[in-house]
Structure 1
């Protein structure tokens, strides 16, 4: 078992060996052996006398049972989904970072002002008033309530009889929820529909839906995961999501839309149920695990079968999952969450493929170091800019 522990700590463990190690760790006595081995062989008490090893190890065991596997980015395909869920112990204890300090080709940290993303959004009310929603900050007005992590629109008692109307435009009153870079937010609409919004996204939606009429919202830009309240719970009314290049009609389902302003394609991926996609002359009903890709430049539409649904939707569950993805695309995703700029001086590094699962609570330095440690890709952090040399 010591050989397996060493293979795990050196990132050379495969699926079968990992399963054997995890089964072995189910016994409390083996957990103690594992912990003592790390302390004795790596002198963690001497090197990191401020580290609470017991707390770190307990966190590892909890991660095995309750959290997705956190897998650092690896270039070699042997680690595709084989790296240990126990990797949290190497994140909790700065062992790798101290080891790297002896390397003459260290990453350069000039001034790191890159913060890990968090729950935050800007709520724009129908009168134009903007409210900053932040983690740990409560906000309540009329039928709207936010606890800093999500915002909930409650059904008003007279919602079936009267709909709030903007007198100036004689239209239904809309709110906007804007998620900045470095943010995320969850919203529950008045009809019970839930929407998770990723960084750099904006949603337009009615304060109150007209009962029996088609419910419409607009993803102005960005990425959103929808869990739509079924029509039978809303007097038979359909639900539609509008983007700049398409319309999605649903009856009760879950799906993901990725429609960023700085990307050429719009990706709509069905998780459960059925959706009807309409874009120019294109019209098609999607089945689960199908995805449409709309090119915004020429409006062409491709329908594909998705083999890795988890990588598309994992962002709303607190992790980023990448499977054989080039580094430049990985960094585009991460730059939104960490509100940073990325520059590739060495263009050869842009297309190196990596696979891994990253915890969204990790610092950017932890993630970048796993990239560096795998392929020796030197990087520099200066203020809020990441430069790959």
Structure 2
């Protein structure tokens, strides 16, 4: 039997916790169920799992595992095996608690399944809040609105969709009147779009993009990120008769020739962030203009209109596109903004001091919300939490 997709992270977490001998009673019950369901888990090599963490964490794996092995060796002469909070966090938290150890298992191709998922209920007294899905609404040039989601196929003369992505026909033509479509992603959603010039766009939850059904040949290709977050893989100009590509949003425009970059411009943020992954872009606002090279990010402050440039890890900043949230010393307030959009919930900080506590780690987007909250709780970032429908209270 193949492991179901949303069981990947819990299983990986339990495998490593078992290796460190820190399973609690609830963990043991879950682990027993997984072992009965998937007997081959006994053959998974935890050391190999840890070797795959490098792409997702700054943890020093070699030193971490040496420390772990030494502790196990010392068990021969001791009646108890103790992991202090300090060593736990330094050597194991990213691997054990955060759920970032599934790459090895993905490569073994043991986690691919299209079966319907029956969730494991962690606490029957609380609602299970599931992660977001591929869904959007498409507004056509005539004003009509189409719901795009799994199971709803849609087709026009210019585009077709299987409900989980929308592809526009590869054609650019000259016309005096350009027809625009709007793709709107709700909270708890994400969507993939391929424009008529071949440019690929991944839209994050709570986002809206305006774009032409087809571009005029030889003219600058222009789209507008009305709000939200989008990752662009732009079709190069040499494949589009030399035409440049621009993304407009609020107070700035981003011009490219052919590259990959991310724009984050949510309505409830005070800044617009543009992160370059590959190539080169120019970010312009008013009389200011900044050129970016890979792993650089501009921050445009919406009140002062000032643009600053910062070094970032572009892979981490854009990890949402690949099914994970990667946080590097981010305050919990900002992290919960991301979480709230993906799970379509409202987060209340009962203790306001929690808002500024920083977190470093990676969370899988396919986990249910309670698993995410348990992760944060196990790291002693919060003492407790409550789930009341769509409201999350952090204590």
TM-score (norm 1): 0.76
Confirm whether residue 218 of structure 1 aligns to residue 228 of structure 2.
no
Residue 352 of structure 1 deviates from its aligned partner by 1.9
Contact 2:222 2:247 in 1 (8 A): yes
Residue 70 of structure 1 deviates from its aligned partner by 7.6
Confirm whether residue 141 of structure 1 aligns to residue 156 of structure 2.
yes
Confirm whether residue 9 of structure 1 aligns to residue 17 of structure 2.
yes
Confirm whether residue 366 of structure 1 aligns to residue 371 of structure 2.
yes
Confirm whether residue 305 of structure 1 aligns to residue 311 of structure 2.
yes
Structure 2 Cα separation of the partners of residues 66 and 127 of structure 1: 49
Mapping of residues 1-389 of structure 1, within 5 Å: 8-9=16-17, 48=33, 51-54=36-39, 76-79=89-92, 83=96, 86=101, 111-112=126-127, 114-156=129-171, 159-160=172-173, 162-163=174-175, 171-306=177-312, 308-375=313-380, 377-389=383-395
Structure 2 Cα separation of the partners of residues 77 and 50 of structure 1: 29
Contact 1:176 1:204 in 2 (8 A): yes
Residue 212 of structure 1 deviates from its aligned partner by 0.4
Residue 348 of structure 1 deviates from its aligned partner by 2.0
Q: RMSD between aligned alpha carbons?
A: 3.6
Q: Name stretches of at least 5 consecutive residues in structure 2 with no aligned partner.
A: 1-12, 58-84, 106-110, 112-119
Residue 358 of structure 1 deviates from its aligned partner by 1.3
Residue 127 of structure 1 deviates from its aligned partner by 0.3
Closer/same/farther in 2, CA of residues 54 and 12 from structure 1, 3 Å limit = closer
Give 1:18's aligned residue.
none
Contact 2:128 2:368 in 1 (8 A): no
Structure 2 Cα separation of the partners of residues 47 and 235 of structure 1: 60
Structure 2 Cα separation of the partners of residues 135 and 64 of structure 1: 35
Residue 228 of structure 1 deviates from its aligned partner by 0.4
- Deviation per CA, 1:209-244, whole angstroms, max 9, x where unpaired? 000001000000000000000011011111000010
Partner-residue secondary structure (3-state), 1:304: strand
Residue 149 of structure 1 deviates from its aligned partner by 1.8
Partner-residue secondary structure (3-state), 1:356: strand
Residue 350 of structure 1 deviates from its aligned partner by 1.8
Structure 2 Cα separation of the partners of residues 56 and 363 of structure 1: 22
Residue 323 of structure 1 deviates from its aligned partner by 1.6
Contact 2:234 2:258 in 1 (8 A): yes
- Deviation per CA, 1:12-67, whole angstroms, max 9, x where unpaired? 69xxxxxxxxxxxxxxxxxxxxxxxx9xxx86599538951326668999988999
Q: Name stretches of at least 5 consecutive residues in structure 1 with no aligned partner.
A: 14-37, 102-108, 166-170
Structure 2 Cα separation of the partners of residues 132 and 67 of structure 1: 38
Q: Of the two structures, which has the highest relative contact order with CA contacts closer than 8 Å and spacing of 6 or more?
A: 1
Contact 1:358 1:367 in 2 (8 A): yes
Residue 182 of structure 1 deviates from its aligned partner by 0.2
Residue 268 of structure 1 deviates from its aligned partner by 0.4
Structure 2 Cα separation of the partners of residues 46 and 214 of structure 1: 56
Structure 1 Cα separation of the partners of residues 31 and 247 of structure 2: 57
Contact 2:93 2:379 in 1 (8 A): no
